[in-house]
Amino acid sequence: MANMDALIEIVVKGKIKEAKGATQALLDGGVTAREIIFDGLSKAMEIVGEKYEKKEYFLPQVLLSAQTLYQGLN
């Protein structure tokens, strides 16, 4: 079973192929969609934003993380 920290890492690192499975595993484990969105996906994008501000991430990484987030929502 995936945990929220794993989902956050998946989004931050832009692992698109893993996002849907991790989200489904959380849902199957009893985590609500609201918790996944606010405590996982949104938090991950906050981290991505911080990395962008520090110039650790650039636009391609931000877009990849955003695409990963959307995959997790499907």
* CATH code for position 30: 1.10.1240.10
- Count up the domains in the chain and report the number: 1
User: Nearest CA to 44 among 28, 57, 25?
Assistant: 57
Higher pLDDT, 74 or 46: 46
pLDDT at 1 over 70: no
Instruction: Give percent of the chain above pLDDT 70.
Output: 97
Task: Count other C-beta atoms under 10 Å from residue 34's C-beta.
Answer: 8
User: What domain range is 19 assigned to?
Assistant: 4-73
User: Nearest CA to 36 among 8, 67, 64, 14?
Assistant: 8
Q: What is the DSSP letter of 40?
A: I
**Which residues are CB-neighbours of 53 under 8 A, at least 6 positions away?**
none
| Model pLDDT, residue 74 | 85
Distances (CA, A) of 56 to 31, 47, 74: 31, 11, 28
